[in-house]
Amino acid sequence: MTSPAQNAAATAGDLASLQHEFPGFRIWQEVTGERARLVAVRRQAGASPHTVVTSDADELRAALTSPTGP
């Protein structure tokens, strides 16, 4: 059985695509113990959402494309 942190390579595979798709956000991956998370933080004041933290690339993409944020 693999842990979420061991499966982080799948999340990391989406990272470059997400960064290219959403240039208005700093997007990176954090692995802490057994948990791997994607973090997106806006680059400009006034953009929405300010911050999104999730383990799912599709959920991050949906939150960043939503007109009002999550």
pLDDT at 19: 95
Distant-in-sequence, close-in-space partners of 11: CB < 8 Å, separation ≥ 6: 29, 36, 38, 55, 57
- What average pLDDT does range 1-9 have in this prediction? 57
pLDDT digits (tens, 9 = 90+) for 20-51: 999 999 999 998 888 889 999 999 998 889 99
Task: Say if CB 60 and CB 49 are below 8 A apart.
Answer: no
